[in-house]
A and B are shown apart, each in its own frame.
Chain A
């Protein structure tokens, strides 16, 4: 089963990371889901695929009542991001789903109706979870052409979708990156192949470096914290991307 761990807490403002599942079928890529809770409301970032719904739901349920989740945030349109949508809506039919306007006609193939989707413009938007204001942070073409990350300025956390993702061996399940150089080897191939736009990457690195983050939380692999955040941004800025092989 998946584990849910609190990675930020200030009053009732919390970030809960639902992390790797060693028991999952290995033909599925492992994913992290992040729940942001504040003032009795909650938003779930990249709720994941249909197959892993029970694992995500059960892990969250150990921490707080999933009925408090009012909204989902889909960084982009991939199946590992949002193919569980129909089941979340089955659980709570009035749940909203924030995603790039680009995908508002595509993701409904996984479920939902015209009430479900809240389109995010290309330059992002503010999303409120209770009293907490989050900011959808543009990351287009990294890797998806309509791609957004989610910034919590108060917590100094950024949910970074596939940026920062590492495909770790099954026996490595630490929550945080501990040895950057060793870790980044598992991220290199992924970033080279999945990320396609050099200008988009440079722009993202410049904007993200200014956010003053404590943690960078990717959808796959371990979380970067402290000095590793800057290390990652610098590494990514230098990396040659958009290459096959």
Chain B
């Protein structure tokens, strides 16, 4: 069997392949965000039970719940951008294929097909501009996400500190705080990976 990328440069991953990998990472983060939301609900109940000694923990848990919703929304925006990028990359590939085939026209036929060649070049430029547009969208949403996740990170760290003041409930609250921390660390790694992929 001939590999799908036969004939293209082996050093560079195909744009479609990169988009697939980006999507996988987005799905993973959406899963993590959902988990953080569930955890924060649980933490809120726990904080209520702990009463006065866990007021700060409760406030932070509530903030983390907001963070998780915001992150989920942003990731959905990223997903929309990758759909746009996928569409643009596909149309771009089609125009490029037509261009490569038209390059094979002998000179005399190229003169005759002049308008067609110009139209194809135009189309290629337009498609390229669309690819650039969607990549830009993706990059800017991703930078926002990075800021959001940093806030989430601060919140998660703070829950660990607040947990200590939980009195008799301190061990249970610390356990929850550790889980928050692990989930956010996982999200940060996925986002770092996404930033790397998006630069490819």
- Show the binding face of A for B, using Cβ within 8 Å: 1, 50-51, 53-55, 57-58, 61-62, 65-67, 86-87, 90-91
Contacts and interface: CB of A to CB of B under 8 A. Distances in A.
Interface of B: 98, 101-102, 104-106, 108-109, 112-113, 115-116, 119-120
Contact of A90 (B104, B106, B120): B120
A57 B113 contact: yes
- Find the residue from B98, B105, B116 having the highest chain A CB count within 10 A: B116
Contact of A54 (B105, B115, B120): B105
A66 B120 CA distance: 18
B117 to A, nearest CB: 9
Nearest to B112: A61
A54 B106 CA distance: 8
Given A57-B105, A90-B120, 11 more contacts: A50-B101, A54-B104, A54-B105, A54-B109, A55-B104, A58-B109, A61-B109, A61-B112, A87-B101, A90-B119, A91-B116
Give 6 closest A-B pairs by Cβ, nearest first. Answer: A58-B109, A54-B104, A91-B116, A54-B105, A61-B109, A58-B106
16 contacts: A1-B106, A51-B101, A53-B101, A54-B101, A54-B102, A54-B106, A55-B104, A57-B105, A57-B109, A58-B105, A58-B109, A67-B112, A87-B116, A90-B116, A90-B120, A91-B115
Nearest to B106: A58
Contacts of B115: 91
A61 B108 contact: yes
Contact of A87 (B98, B106, B112): B98
Contacts of B120: 90
B101 A91 contact: no
B98 A86 contact: yes
